[in-house]
Amino acid sequence: MSETLGSTVARAGCVISVSHSRDTRGCCSGSGVLLSRDPPGIVLCPGILFAPFLLEFEHPDWSQEKVLLSDRFLPGLQIQVLKAGGDNSSKANRDRLAGDLGGNNPVLRFNPLSNRGRSPNGWRHCEAELLMVAACPQFQEAFSQIFSTSDRWHFGGNDFEEEVNTLEKDLPCLHWFALLRILEPDSHEASWVSCVPAGSLRKGDTVFTCGSPFGSLCPEIFMNTLSKGIVSNLAGANNALLLTDARCLPGTEGGGVFVTSGMGPHLVGIIVAPLCWKATEWVGLTLVCAVDAILESVAGILSGSRGFPKPWLLPAELVTRSHAMMALRNGLDRHLLDVVVLVECGPTWGSGVMMNSKLMLTCRHVVCGASSVCIRFVTDPKRDSVVKGKVVFSTKDSSPYDIALVELEEGLSTLPELPLASAFHPGEDVSIVSFGVFGQACGPSVTSGILSAVITVEDKPVMLQATSAVHGGSSGGALFGTHSGKLLGIVASNTRDNSVGVTYPHLNFSIPVTVLQSAILQYIHHGSLHGFQELDRVGERIQVVWRLQREPVEMPRSKL
């Protein structure tokens, strides 16, 4: 991202702090987006920030109601917005925010390795009022379709010291958003943020996020921190729900998600939850709500409320619907998603890669010793098709290469040609396409990263290590070179520390396609499984690599 583009995105971000002088509930803080600067300044932020300040007799049905106006919250709320622009931004602003946090200010220390200097001045501290807290039904519906309580989903809390909340606690408030009005005019510039509909996005599009980790804690360090990733998955009507692999932290809830074009950055979504866990597995994806879905909900509320005169708030007009293909697309070729399929074996599932119209590669542990599996082609959720496949080969449990070959009962004629890599370049951009986490709920997910290491034995690649996020269900998925479009390998595993029960989704391992290519060609041309059977007879050095162990060193014998 260029300096100009980065500063433009950052100027749309702000920090929200909510408290009450006569209430003991403390201060809530998070990130927000400036939809307009003047006149008047309009801010969009998470509705959950205001949940602690409801009147005592108010018990809203979060799943059914559409809007909560300011009269349902404690009178005298103190809402403060720290944003870019203005002159009174330096020490006075930092002191005011620090005071807002009171004596419960969380302790955060620099890592001794860090030597980051003070951020430049240029902030403005403003008072704001609450206009409304509105629900986004489109996001709520999409969320309920792909996130199930039986999967034990967890989401990061608003306070960075707070442990993750259960789905039952988070679900009622995740689809609520607050609109604020800044009380002090900003005479420096008058502008509306440029928004685009999420329906114009597709998986693999590059996105940038802008939020403030830890909310109002230490804004001179964390305010409007940028991150970069891709659209990993989409769900709901007009893509109301987005998932991105951009790295975000607690406190960035309410931050903006932007796409870029030749016309600059455009707001496409609002961060809902920066950290997601499925049971004890960290997913490593950020949950996002499409901004056009939020604004459409607000527009509907305003149009049906005669006693709410706000001619200056025209949320539906913020979204430029004519730019259907605005996002710059320099990621993975969309057609490569079609070769990755969902493999079902009883109640479990994994991923697979179609090598041609009838042959599929997956992992041994995905087929679970079965003689046949079901293969779903769900790239287009509207055209779900199921084909049965026969497991013609599966490596032994003793083999380090966790691989299985499946032949479909019916050949397919619409698959794109799959180019195979013959060489690997550490540091190159890669993408992983798989059905991790969500199964068939919203099609394959795409995550981005780099090829972090190529492990060789006798100068031949035997393992590829990548930083793209993978999860349960990703086994058997495809590791692609992002720019070449070539298949680099078959995803076999990520990393887990069994001593503490932690899984690391951004460190994963794939079987190089060069290990499998000759075996595939032997089977295609001669019907021979000899090449695959050789995978059960590899040497001890390869065994050691895939056991994640050091190669044994022969020690000198003692003379005693």
Active site residue 402: yes
Query: Looking at 154, 266, 365, 506, which residue is catalytic?
Result: 365
Looking at the chain, how many residues does it have?
A: 560
Q: What is the predicted pLDDT for the residue at 166?
A: 43
Q: Taking all residues of the chain, what is their mean pLDDT, rounded to a whole number?
A: 81
Residue 19 confidence (pLDDT) above 80 = yes
Query: Looking at 402, 445, 493, 510, which residue is catalytic?
Result: 402
Helix (H, G, I), strand (E, B) or coil at 191: coil
pLDDT band with cut points at 50, 70 and 90 for residue 324: very low
pLDDT of 219-270, one tens digit each? 878 889 999 999 999 999 999 999 999 999 888 999 999 998 877 889 999 9
> What number of CA atoms fall less than 13 Å from residue 245's CA on the CB side?
24
Active site residue 150: no
pLDDT band with cut points at 50, 70 and 90 for residue 431: very high
Active site residue 100: no
- Strands of 395-532, DSSP E: 404-408, 429-434, 445-457, 460-466, 478-481, 487-497, 502-512
φ, ψ for residue 396, nearest 5 deg: -70, 160
Structure tokens at 12: 């749309």
Low-confidence winner among 121-130, 338-347, 516-525 (lowest mean pLDDT): 121-130
* Dist CA 525 CA 520 (whole Å): 9
* Dist CA 229 CA 246 (whole Å): 4
Query: Looking at 474, 475, 493, 510, which residue is catalytic?
Result: 475
